[in-house]
Structure 1
Amino acid sequence: MNPKNSNQQKESCGSVKRIMNFISQKTKVLVALFLILGIQGCNQEANPTRDSVEEDKDRKALIMTVSEPIRFMAERITDDSWATIKFPADASVVDPVYWNPSPDTMRRYQNADLILLNGGGYAKWIKSASLKLSRLHDTSAAFKDRFILAKDAVLHQHGPDGEHSHEGYANTTWLDFELAGMHADAILEVLIKQWPDHEETMKKNHSILRNEFNKLHQEMLDIAKQIGNTPLLASHPVYQYPTKAYGLKIHSLHWEPDTTPDETDWRDLAF
């Protein structure tokens, strides 16, 4: 073999080895780099997930209602350390039964974790609202068979709220304190189902509230016995439930808080 060719072959082989070593080193560096980036990528993905879980735990539950009595009951049963209970109708709303939420308020309902309904036709806007059915809970579902049909509906107006009549089902169910207790039972049931971590405290709070309703119910029965058949006047036809529950004799008028009774209104007193 030509010595010159032999030297060239050795140099060529040496170059190839150096190139292979270089590639091997670079490959190791790249693999290490990919591993580091991969680990960092996993960490970047995991941290926000942990943070979001912690934030979700720290965030208070938003529970919206469609009436003030249901808000009161839910607030009594829950604890403001973990739950926010809202009925957002402001003081200018004369009759919440016929109130319609503004777009901003509607968004609050849409973002709520739970919406507690009164039932019996209360809050008619619910039927046309874009709300998740899974977040709606009718607190009167257990006593629908005790709904009272409103009779002799009269068209009238509450301030600037527009004309309406009290037709359909009577919806002031909580004025029968036995039914108020059943509302509270339904509220407790759905709250425990959705937030079981607070079951013990909610049961204690509910027990206190339930006892108060039971006491009020008995007191009303005692008062009704004392009243007997004495006629009672009501400014509005919204007392159907206490009339039936306690055997009261109530004559309902249609007097508005911002209107002075006229001659016809005074004649209505002669019943």
Structure 2
Amino acid sequence: MTMPLLKPFLAVVMTFLVASSVAAQDRPRVVAVNYPLQYFAERLVGDAAEVIFPVPADVDPSFWRPSIADISTIQSADLILLNGAGFATWVDRVSLPRAKVANTTTAIEDQFIRTESITHSHGDGDEHSHEGLASYTWLDPMLAIAQAEAVAAAITARGIAPDDAVATRLDALRADLAELDRQATGAFDGMQDIAMIATHPRYQYLAQRYGLSISSLEWEAGAMPTDAEQADLVALATQTGAQVLIWEAAPPAEAFAVAAELGLANIVFPTLAQGVDDQTYMQAIANALTAISEAKP
């Protein structure tokens, strides 16, 4: 290409790049306090907005403490999606613009589950309590539908994406969640009389939806249980006659062996406040349900 022709070509390229950069910056931004809300929002907005989940991958979103920079990013967003039900303790300590905030569980508050007072700490974090409300509402696909509907309403109310496109995507998301509920109903069929133990008290809405009996321990997700924790498992399994142990995240293989020696079927059922590598919300729960079906006592 000769020099006289090269200059106009470069000018066109630079104009395109600048326009693309400006367009990207001009896209509305949506902030979600957990992965399920991020997933719902991304499906509903398509390419019309950028959806941000600011919590680092190795941090529990329930107890994350945003930095000043994080708070600035959140406050400047066009829409801030809260889970409600006491999820994300930082929300009560940060000033958020009311006009930008949408609580996705407002319509289902009558279905909230009250929890017992359990105070403990995670790793090197401060002590905290699970007293109050169970907050992992999205583990019940029917409640997840209500949250997805709230996300869609918040998006359209602020003009973040076209109403008709959001409505079409919401119909598809509803159908997927209803199918997930159908799969769960089949997977848990006949398990209502089988006692189960979970490594963390986060499955209340799952248990309520499908009539399950789940007792809970207080183990660190994905970690090898200590000798004391293993003793707690033995005691609880003896007390309840449990046949299934539900892990919030996959632990070391030797941890599975400990449970198997007690006659417990090991099931990994991610609670999804954080995403699971290479799996969407739908895929992660569907895979867990398949594992449940295959491991039925």
Q: Which category describes the TM-score, using the shorter chain as reference length?
A: 0.7 to 0.9
Partner of 1:168: 132
Partner of 2:226: 261
CA distance in 1, matches of 2:51, 2:153: 16
Residues 175-184 or 58-67, more deviating: 58-67
Residue 156 of structure 2 is aligned with which of 189, 192, 207?
192
The percentage of aligned residue pairs carrying the same residue is: 34
2:125 counterpart of 1:125: no
Partner of 1:86: 52
CA distance in 2, matches of 1:201, 1:107: 30
In structure 1, give the amino acid aligned to 2:37.
I
CA distance in 1, matches of 2:101, 2:52: 14
Deviation at 1:222, TM superposition (A): 2.4
SS of the residue 1:70 aligns to: helix
In structure 2, give the amino acid aligned to 1:219.
Q
- What is the aligned residue count? 214
CA distance in 2, matches of 1:125, 1:97: 8
> What are the residue-to-residue correspondences of 1:1-271 with 2, within 5 Å?
59-80=26-47, 82-93=48-59, 95-151=60-116, 153-195=117-159, 198-257=162-221, 258-263=223-228, 264-266=231-233, 267-271=235-239
Deviation at 1:125, TM superposition (A): 1.4
SS of the residue 2:30 aligns to: strand
CA distances 1:118-137 after superposition (whole Å, capped 9, x unpaired): 00001121122122111111
CA distance in 1, matches of 2:181, 2:191: 15
Deviation at 1:58, TM superposition (A): 6.9
SS of the residue 1:116 aligns to: strand
What root-mean-square deviation, in Å, do the aligned CA atoms of Structure 1 and Structure 2 show? Answer: 1.8
Deviation at 1:210, TM superposition (A): 0.8
Deviation at 1:252, TM superposition (A): 1.0
Conserved? CA contact 2:80–2:101, under 8 Å:
yes
In structure 2, give the amino acid aligned to 1:75.
E
CA distances 1:233-259 after superposition (whole Å, capped 9, x unpaired): 211111110111110111111121335
Partner of 2:243: none
Deviation at 1:155, TM superposition (A): 1.9
Deviation at 1:209, TM superposition (A): 1.0
CA distance in 2, matches of 1:259, 1:166: 22
SS of the residue 2:50 aligns to: strand
CA distances 1:23-62 after superposition (whole Å, capped 9, x unpaired): xxxxxxxxxxxxxxxxxxxxxxxxxxxxxxxx68971001
CA distance in 2, matches of 1:197, 1:249: 42
Conserved? CA contact 2:29–2:77, under 8 Å:
yes
Residues 220-229 or 103-112, more deviating: 220-229
CA distance in 2, matches of 1:92, 1:58: 28
Deviation at 1:102, TM superposition (A): 0.8
In structure 2, give the amino acid aligned to 1:158.
H
CA distances 1:101-145 after superposition (whole Å, capped 9, x unpaired): 111101001111110110000112112212211111101010111
TM-score (norm: length of structure 1): 0.74
Deviation at 1:221, TM superposition (A): 1.9
In structure 2, give the amino acid aligned to 1:246.
Y
Deviation at 1:268, TM superposition (A): 2.8
Structure 2 residue runs without a partner (length 5+):
1-21, 240-297
Partner of 1:46: none
Residues 155-164 or 142-151, more deviating: 155-164
Deviation at 1:225, TM superposition (A): 2.2
Deviation at 1:165, TM superposition (A): 2.0
More helix per residue: 1
Partner of 2:254: none
CA distance in 2, matches of 1:57, 1:107: 19
